[in-house]
Amino acid sequence: MRVMGVDPDLRYCAFSVVSGDSLETSIFEAPRREVQAMIEVLAEKLPGLLDIHQPDLVVIEGQQIYLQGGKARPDDILKLAQVAGACAALCAAHYCKPKIIIPKPGLWKGQVPKIIHQRRLCEKHGIEHTDWPKKHRSHAIDSAGLAYWGLDRC
Task: For residue 1, name the pLDDT band (cuts at 50, 70, 90).
Answer: very high
The pLDDT value recorded for residue 40 is 97
Quote the pLDDT of residue 113.
86
pLDDT at residue 67, as a whole number: 63
Enumerate the β-bridge partners of residue 3: 18, 57
- Per-residue confidence (pLDDT) for residue 110, from 0 to 100: 85
Q: d(Cα 88, Cα 113) in Å, to the nearest integer?
A: 27
Residue 29's CB is within 10 A of a number of other CB atoms, namely 14
Residue 144 has pLDDT above 90, yes or no: yes
Query: pLDDT tens-digit profile of 29-82?
Result: 999 999 999 999 999 999 999 999 999 999 999 987 666 665 656 777 889 999
Percentage of the residues of the chain whose pLDDT score is greater than 90:
65
Please report the pLDDT score of residue 146 as a whole number.
Answer: 96
CA distance 138 to 114: 9
The domain made up of 2-153 has a fold known as: Nucleotidyltransferase; domain 5 (3.30.420)
Burial string for 82-119 (b: 16+ CB within 10 Å, else e) reads bbbebbbebbeeebeebebbbbebeebbeeeeeeebbe
Torsion of CA 53, 59, 64, 68, to 10 degrees: -40
pTM: 0.90
Ramachandran class of 16: left when φ > 0, alpha when ψ lies in -120 to 50, beta otherwise: beta
pLDDT tens by residue, 93-108: 876 677 999 998 889 9
